């Protein structure tokens, strides 16, 4: 077994004969993790995913940045969430999507970007702008011809020519 929680004690509790008192250790309060402060849902999609997770995990509340396994999730619960998310959002949701986006916030953001009718896709998002590269650094040192070819195709510049950095 590998411990999942670690915390520092000033001293170990011992019995009258100097052995470790495991019963006292079991009763010690677990210190609060400052990074585990529950954050409530901030968008409609996060709220829908939050309600889904709470229903499957049998909890009344889960923070949107709390990890799936830290919230009590397991592989069967992930399968249930994937199935219910498919029904709720009307699109296929693979198990890898649930496990790969292991917080409510990450999963909701993925849904917003992939499901029509959710918050992000309805916004007028500005188109991504490409940064124009006009010169290459003098100390550019690429190891292979393939990398040079990729750089040429992306920038339209030849890093090996003398005029590339002019």
What domains are defined for the chain? 36-122 (1.10.1200.10), 130-160 (no CATH)
- For 7, residues 6+ apart whose C-beta sits below 8 A from its C-beta are 30, 31
User: With pLDDT > 70 as the criterion, what percentage of the chain qualifies?
Assistant: 62
What is the per-residue pLDDT across 9-42, written as a single tens digit (0 to 9) for each?
888 889 999 999 988 887 777 655 555 557 788 8
What value does the mean pLDDT of the chain take? Answer: 76
- Note whether 109 and 65 are within 8 A (CB): no
Residue-wise pLDDT for 86-96, tens only, equals 999 888 888 88
Residues 60 and 53 sit within 8 Å (Cβ to Cβ):
no
In which element (H, E) is residue 119 found?
Answer: helix 119-122
Q: Which residue has the higher pLDDT, 82 or 145?
A: 82
Q: pTM of the predicted model, to two decimals?
A: 0.51
DSSP string, 38-76: -----SHHHHHHHHHHHHHHT-S---TTS-TTTTT--HH
């Amino acid at each position: 077994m590998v411990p999942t929680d670690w915390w520092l004690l000033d001293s170990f509790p011992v019995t009258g004969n100097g052995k470790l008192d495991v019963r006292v250790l079991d009763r010690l309060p677990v210190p609060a993790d400052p990074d585990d402060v529950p954050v409530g849902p901030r968008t409609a999609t996060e709220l829908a995913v939050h309600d889904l997770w709470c229903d499957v995990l049998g909890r009344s509340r889960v923070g949107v940045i709390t990890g799936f396994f830290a919230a009590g999730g397991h592989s069967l619960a992930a399968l249930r969430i994937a199935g219910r998310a498919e029904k709720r959002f009307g699109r296929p949701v693979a198990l890898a999507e649930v496990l790969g986006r292991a917080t409510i916030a990450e999963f909701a953001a993925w849904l917003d970007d992939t499901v029509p009718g959710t918050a992000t896709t309805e916004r007028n998002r500005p188109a991504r702008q490409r940064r124009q590269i006009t010169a290459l650094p003098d100390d550019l040192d690429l190891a292979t011809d393939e990398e040079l070819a990729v750089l040429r195709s992306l920038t339209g510049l030849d890093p090996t020519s003398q005029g590339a950095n002019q």
